[in-house]
Amino acid sequence: MVAPMVLAESVRKSFGMVEVLRGIDLEVAAGEVMVIIGPSGSGKSTFLRCINHLEKINSGRLSVDGELVGYREHGGKIFELKDREVCRKRAEIGIVFQHFNLFPHMTVLGNIIEAPVRVKGQEKTEAIANARRLLTQVGLADRETAYPAQLSGGQKQRIAIARALAMEPKLMLFDEPTSALDPELVGEVLDVMKQLAKAGMTMVVVTHEIGFAREVGDSLVFMDEGIIVERGHPKEIINSPKHERTRAFLSKVL
Amino acid sequence: MTQLGPARTTAPTPSAIRAVPVRHPGRWVAAAVLLVLIAMAVDAVVFARVKRGNSLQTRFGWHVVSQFFLSHEVLHGLIVTLELTVIAMAIGIAGGVLLAVMRLAINPIVRWVAWSYIWFFRGTPVLVQLLFWFNLSYVFPQISLGIPFGPSWINLNANSLITPFIAAFVGLGLNEAAYMSEIVRAGILSVDEGQTEAASALGMNRILLMRRVVLPQAMRVIIPPTGNETISMLKTSSLASVITVTELLYSVQLIYASTYQIVPMLLVASLWYLIVTSVLSVGQFYIERYFGRGSSHAQPLTPFQKFRKSIVTVHQAMPLPGPRDAGSPLAGRKER
Ligand SMILES: Nc1ncnc2c1ncn2[C@@H]1O[C@H](COP(=O)(O)OP(=O)(O)O)[C@@H](O)[C@H]1O
Ligand SMILES: [Mg+2]
């Protein structure tokens, strides 16, 4: 049996006195596209950030591709990973943020080749060739010398996706990638994501785009107040939610 | 595409408003008073002559100014001043970045050390610090390198090691580091947290993301006050005259100590300070422009660009013979 790409067992996370994740159990298989929906403040972003160790979990087990996130298990004991090892693990997971977070002082090409060259030690010529291929893939081959401020929101987000893909991640996390976009620009970003899903990328997508969940998602998770309320096949949950909270939420976003 | 053009030009243009402007007699009076005052000042400074001994001289002794302005001693003093400024600022900036990063460190001891340093150096006058470094050999006659509290390998005589010049740039630089650290820290904190997050998510370690992502963006906030600090350092370096460094001020002081031409010699020094600060201000403008690239704000124009633009706008303001395709809002837009 292959290890799941993401495996969460009773994951808990608090900020001070407030418990934001209250026991998350969840499994994402390799090649699966999982969509997470839920009201604002329910802990979706926090959960994604835990997966690539931008936040430390307080209890439970969280592993990616069969290895614990942020720790190493050895002889029944758990050791914290060194900064260098944490960085190496993060490099294998791509994340796309709601607000793009492109590096404004670098050109589009600079943004994409930065991590492959500086973190992975890739040859610059190779990184550039790679970046150009990705730019074509996201439909922005002609913008490589532009600065982020000269791009539209949709273009920025497509560059952010290309930047994450340049590290050749085995898992891609999306945190509301279209929430900051004007409605007419949402489609171009979703198209790139659909294409990525079709190519077999394992993806965890937090979004309010129910259409995307229905069309592309292999599974759908509804989160509320730090717990998973309901999960299942997207079409089933969207058409006939079992829980009252899911129904109430869906009626608001549909 | 061309329909838009003619439609625009044939539309009736509203005639310009011709109104009687409001009179501002107060402005005229103020301007006249100021002009008279300026004329009096120029006369006093440049033209008026007073009798000194048996000759008639300008009040400020301009013949002495011109005699010494390019003299060897003054130029040497100017170079020492520039050296002091550059070295002290280099120490200040390097130390400031280090202290700023230390203040944002995770280790509380590191944070505390940086905080104490800043507290001490900002809390005491820089003149006192200079005198302290100048007299360091009194406290530490020997400077040794070796194992802490253990044997030492190299012993140096502090009196010969710490010349007045070294005492000056060490004193000015270490003091500057305390101020620069606050500037650098404000710059670092001005960078959006999402930037650090994105860089870490790409696998960058703390040093790499500081060097490649945070500091270059912090520069936009750091550069303007650093320019001011440099200009201020140029002038503060004159304090080194107190510890016998022959920089610009001490050089002219040495001259007037024998010629008694105090005011003209102070004018020589002041004119040089003015010239160098003006040059530095121009340099600051171009550096700020460079670090503002990629910003959504329009960059300020360089004087050359302003000149070119004024020529181009004169051209455009002239009546055009007919509609131009290039001026149409649809021209040049790419099909998607
Ligand atoms: N760094 C933090 N410090 C304190 N509280 C936080 C922090 N990050 C998130 N929270 C809190 O955790 C809760 C869940 O936030 P988040 O995961 O962003 O929710 P979602 O993405 O589902 O909207 C919110 O109440 C938020 O205020
Ligand atoms: Mg969120």
Q: Is residue B105 part of a domain?
A: yes
pLDDT at A18: 95
Q: What is the mean pLDDT of residues B38-48?
A: 88
**A91 near A120, Cβ under 8 Å?**
yes
What is the pLDDT confidence band of residue B299, given thresholds at 50, 70 and 90?
low
Identify the segments of chain A with pLDDT beneath 70. Answer: 1
CA of A228 to the centre of ligand 1 (A): 16
Asked if pLDDT for residue B325 goes beyond 60, the answer is no
Q: Per the domain annotation, does B288 fall within a domain?
A: yes
Instruction: Specify if B200 maps to a domain.
Output: yes
Q: Is B336 an interface residue toward A (CB < 8 Å)?
A: no
Q: Is the pLDDT of residue B97 over 70?
A: yes
- Rounded to 10 degrees, what is the CA torsion of A206, A207, A208, A213? -100
Residue B171 corresponds to which tokens in the numbers above? 């004193």
Exposed / middle / buried, residue A142 (Cβ in 10 Å: 0-12, 13-18, 19+): exposed
- Cβ of A207 closer than 6 Å to ligand 1, yes or no, is no
Tokens representing residue A12 in the block: 């808990």
Q: What is the C-alpha R_g of chain B?
A: 30
Residue of A105, A106, A114 to mutate, interface with B, max B Cβ within 10 Å: A105
Q: Is B332 within a domain?
A: no
Average pLDDT of chain B to the nearest whole number: 85
Token representation of residue B163: 């010349």
pLDDT tens-digit map of B150-180:
777 777 777 777 889 999 999 999 999 999 9
Sign of CA dihedral B143, B144, B148, B149: negative
* pLDDT of residue B86 exceeding 70: yes
* A97–B197 C-beta distance less than 8 A: yes
CA-based R_g, chain A, Å? 18
Whether A219 is in the pocket of ligand 1, judged by its Cβ within 6 Å, is no
Q: Which residue stretches of B140-261 are H helix? A: 158-161, 164-190, 193-201, 206-209, 215-236, 248-259
Give the separation between CA B319 and CA B13, rounded to whole angstroms. 14
Decide if B125 is inside a domain.
yes
Give the DSSP per-residue string, B75-130: HHHHHHHHHHHHHHHHHHHHHHHHHHHHHT-S-HHHHHHHHHHHHHHHHS-HHHHH
Q: What is the DSSP letter of A174?
A: E
**Residue range B122-147: mean pLDDT, rounded:** 86
What pLDDT was estimated at residue B1? 43
Return the structure tokens found at A93: 């997971």
Cβ(B157)–Cβ(B136) under 8 Å?
no
Residue B136 domain boundaries: 62-146+153-293
- One-letter amino acid of B122: R
What's the pLDDT at B229? Answer: 95
Give per-residue pLDDT as tens, B46-76.
888 888 888 888 888 888 999 999 999 999 9
Q: What pLDDT, in 10s, does the model give residues A99-131?
A: 999 999 999 999 999 999 999 999 999 999 999
Position in ligand 1 atom list of the atom nearest CA A223: 22
In angstroms, what separates the C-alpha of B197 from chain A's closest C-alpha? 8
The separation between CA A63 and the C-alpha centre of its own chain, rounded to angstroms, equals 15
- The answer as to whether B327 is a domain residue is no
Instruction: Give alpha helix (H) positions in A33-123.
Output: 44-51, 83-91, 108-118
Token pair 């979004």: residue = A207
Report residue B220's pLDDT band, with 50, 70 and 90 as the boundaries: confident
Helix (H, G, I), strand (E, B) or coil at A132: helix
Q: How many domains does chain B divide into?
A: 1
For chain B, say whether A114 makes contact (Cβ under 8 Å). yes
A28: Cα separation from own chain's centroid: 12
- Using the Cβ of B205 and the Cβ atoms of chain A, whether some distance falls under 8 Å is answered with yes
In this prediction, residue A189 carries a pLDDT of: 97
- B143: closest CA among B157, B162, B159? B157
Q: Categorize the per-residue pLDDT at B334 as very low, low, confident or very high, splitting at 50, 70 and 90.
A: very low
CA gap A29, A33 in Å, rounded: 9
Span of A60-64, B41-45, B116-120 with lowest mean pLDDT: B41-45
Residue B219 and residue B47 in contact, taking contact as beta carbons nearer than 8 Å: no
State how far Cα A82 lies from the chain centre: 23
- Residue B301, in any domain of the structure: no
Count Cα atoms within 13 angstroms, Cβ side, for B243.
25
Residue B11, pLDDT score = 58
CATH code, domain carrying B131: 1.10.3720.10
Does B267 map to a domain?
A: yes
Q: Which of B279, B219, B189, B208 is nearest to B93 (CA)?
A: B219
Q: Whose CA is nearest to atom 7 of ligand 1?
A: A15
Residue A236, min C-alpha distance to chain B (Å): 34
The verdict on pTM exceeding 0.90 is no
Whether B175 contacts B93, CB under 8 Å: no
In single-letter form, the type of residue at position A212 comes to: F
- Phi and psi, residue A242, nearest 5°: -85, -35
More confident residue, A171 or B149: A171
* DSSP SS3 for A18: strand
Q: Which of A 50-109 lie inside 8 A of B, CB atoms?
A: 52, 54, 83-84, 87-88, 90-95, 97, 99, 101-107
The verdict on ipTM greater than 0.95 is: no
8 A C-beta contact, residue B88 and residue B237: yes
Interface mutation target, options B202, B204, B209, B334, chain A, most CBs of A under 10 Å: B202
Residue B10 pLDDT? 56
Residue B184 tokens read as 């650098």
CA distance linking residue B91 with residue B88, whole number of Å: 5
